[in-house]
Amino acid sequence: MRYAGLIRRAVALTIDSVVIYGTLLGVIKVIMLDVIRPYMIPIEAVVPPYRIGITISFVLALVYYALLESSVWQGTLGKRIVSIKVTDLGGKRLTIGRASSRFLARQIIPLFSIFTGSLIAGEGGGALVTYCQECAIPAYLIQPFTAQRQAFHDLIAGTLVVRR
């Protein structure tokens, strides 16, 4: 097995980010304007709108990654373009459960940033209480130093990213 390098993985992640967040912005805009807006005043009193957007984007990203990484493609659109795929430690296709756990493991550090930002800033913290995907960069940077080129989330989920 030839393990995928950091550069290929970074390019795949960039492509997926453009695909996901470009699509998500459109979907969230439709959901926020057409579905939630009529009820915004009652919802806003309970849940701030940015948290609704974060929740929607989180769920849609989970579905994107879990379905594509457990499919016959064994990877997202970005991974497919750069000719890499995700497998379990035995080289087999991921189950939907393992693909979901891989995605959730990748979210541990960004979600931790929301929690700590809330603690530091309190209720009116605004900018500190955000979903910080960039906070996870160190979790990717361990990848070149592990025997099987695994990032933090791969170690937790028991997965490998290999070249096709």
pTM (2 d.p.): 0.78
Task: Point out the least confidently predicted range of 44-53, 114-123, 130-139, 149-158.
Answer: 114-123
Render 128-139 in DSSP notation, one character per residue.
Answer: GSS--GGGGHHH
**Averaged confidence pLDDT in the chain:** 81
Confidence check: pLDDT of 161 > 90: yes
Measure the CA–CA gap between 81 and 37, rounded to whole angstroms: 37
Better-scored residue on pLDDT, 18 or 8: 8
Domain boundaries, the chain: 6-163
What is the reported pLDDT for 116? 57
Task: Point out the least confidently predicted range of 29-43, 81-95, 142-156.
Answer: 29-43
